[in-house]
Chains A and B, each alone.
Chain A
Amino acid sequence: MSDVAVEAQDLRRSFGDNEAVAGVDLAVREGEVYGFLGPNGAGKSTTVRMLCTLLSMTGGRASVAGFDVASQADDVRLRIGVALQDAALDPKQTGRELLRLQARLYGLHRDEVDTRVDELIGMIDIGDALDDRVGTYSGGMKRRLDLAAALVHNPEVLFLDEPTTGLDPVSRNRVWEEVRELNTEHGVTIFLTTQYLEEADALADRVGIIVKGEIAAEGTPAELKRRIGTDVIVVRVDGDVQAADRAVREVEGVSSTDVHDDEITIAVDDGAALVSKVAVALDGDGVAVRDLTLRSPSLDDVFLELTGGRFRADDEPTGEEDAR
């Protein structure tokens, strides 16, 4: 038990008739980076809010750092750090005041507060702005301050709810480096939600894909990709995509295809051998091919296979925000 940092069994949460989280099972080991991947409204944030004691569950049970989330919430709170979606900060305080306040609420003694705040200032690198009001900060600065606030007390388990949503690539890379260093240098277990496949792929040891409140697939990024096959051939055509799909299916060695808009995705075991056959078949059928690529499978392909829909980070929200 002690080596499991986050555990959930049949975790559920309903808002009225809407079951946002519909029976999630999790076991995140100590020292692991776990990526919780899904589109908006899939139940990611609701799950995180339950695990970090902000939201009561309507079914199942969960424990974090060895303590029950429902009955030992205080013990859980001492051991977790949380950076919520959209950097939850107070615009009227300065960055320094905010960190000091956070440190005091975690019971740090006066000298510890000073030392710790100085250390964190080095990490977030926002210079003199630390004594400016948070309201004047850029999105990236806010996110880094938020992360620092979550780390004030050296948590064992860090929850990051969409830590890079809305950030520019430079800021995103920075957050990624910080996450990696926290995990590798300091052994912090990290539970990370994201709607970016790339992010889960880059950071997570294991990934759980949540769709409509349930975990649809779980494994290392490599394992998940292996479900698809070794290679992926993607064909984009002008004209009748269904006819092109029929032509591709007749190629020997092609077992299944996915059609989405003008794009046909073909998961195969030996792409190099098949790509020319596919090209020949399409040409023989008179299909106008705009684009033909051979690549390794991505988590995007996994998601496509699981849900039948292309993964999009900008899916319409489904009311999860309103319901909480």
Chain B
Amino acid sequence: MTATTAPPQVPTSRVHARRAGFARDLLTVAGRAVRSIPREPESVIPALIVPLFFFVVNTGSLSDLTNSVEAPGFDYKAFQLPVAIVFAVTGISRASTLVTDIQDGYFDRLTITPVRRPALLLGLMVADFVLVVALTIPVIALGFLVGVRFETGLLGIIVFILLAAAWGLVFTGFPYAIALKTGNPAAVNSSFLLFFPFAFLTTSFVPEPYLSGWLATVADYNPVTYLLAALRSLTMEGWEWQTLGKGLLAVGVVGVVSFTLAMLAFRGRTRSGA
């Protein structure tokens, strides 16, 4: 035997490729995305700090004021909890990871496989949904800590989380559309600007009757107004089916728009390869 390097052994087992099927593709892509979340805590921690910060500041500064004008006993903390949740879940997405994949060429590597195309995007959204649900839990825990109670009980809490997470999910369509259309990290980062009109031109601070002229009009067209109303009904009022329905509808309308944009951008990127 000499000391030369052994030639590489190319393995021989005769496995062969086949289509894995949509569900398995989806799980594979989502699994990778979920694994990557704890590896980039820098993308999650701010998402948690912002809602907690606003919740503490808003309730601290406005509780007494609203208590005196609205009605004695008005629970401003319960009123603010849905706002904190919306802040926590809006704009959370894997879009910047997607842009990195596109730039590194890893997205190409994935699209060369026989994976069902939509699974590449929907898998990321599954991971987003998991993350968003996880983010609602500490926020709700803080709410409980300061005395917020749910009129609708445990089932209400679950509906509350799912509705908020559904909103978080449909909102991801916008950053994904931008990521896929531009492949540009700066453009994706600036997509957080979309958050402001949705999150502030609405009833985030005071109940609807107290909004002034133009803001009241804008809030009427802002889907978040209906989402907040639905979430608040679960904490403060009980099972208000009509309010919940409107909230769900608002989320659905935004979802149709954002997912259409995202899927169009996705097809543009995977079909022409431009």
Contact = CB atoms under 8 A, between A and B. Distances in A.
Contacts of A154: 13-17
Contacts of B109: 82, 84, 88-89, 102, 149
Given A82-B109, A88-B108, A174 B12 contact: no
A120 interface: yes
B91 to A, nearest CB: 21
Contact of A49 (B7, B36, B273): B273
B17 to A, nearest CB: 4
Where chain B touches its partner, the secondary structure class is loop
Contacts of B19: 74, 78, 107
Given A115-B15, A116-B15, A54 B10 contact: no
A56 B241 CA distance: 50
Interface residues of B, number: 41
Given A105-B113, A106-B18, A91 B11 contact: no
A106 B17 contact: yes
Given A88-B104, A149-B109, A324-B273, A105 B15 contact: no
Contacts of B273: 49, 54-56, 324
Contacts of A84: 105, 108-109
A88 B113 CA distance: 13
A115 B272 contact: no
A285 interface: no
Given A92-B39, A119-B12, A182-B10, A54 B114 contact: no
Contact count band on A: 35 or more
B210 to A, nearest CB: 47
A119 B20 contact: no
Contacts of A106: 17-18, 20, 113-114
Contacts of B104: 88-91
B205 to A, nearest CB: 39
Contact of A116 (B5, B9, B11, B31): B11
19 contacts: A55-B273, A56-B272, A84-B105, A84-B108, A88-B106, A89-B104, A89-B106, A91-B104, A101-B31, A105-B25, A106-B114, A112-B15, A115-B13, A149-B109, A154-B13, A154-B14, A177-B7, A181-B9, A324-B274
Interface of A: 49, 52-56, 74, 77-80, 82, 84-86, 88-93, 97, 101-102, 104-108, 112, 115-116, 119-120, 122-123, 125, 133, 149, 151, 153-155, 174, 177-178, 181-182, 185-186, 324
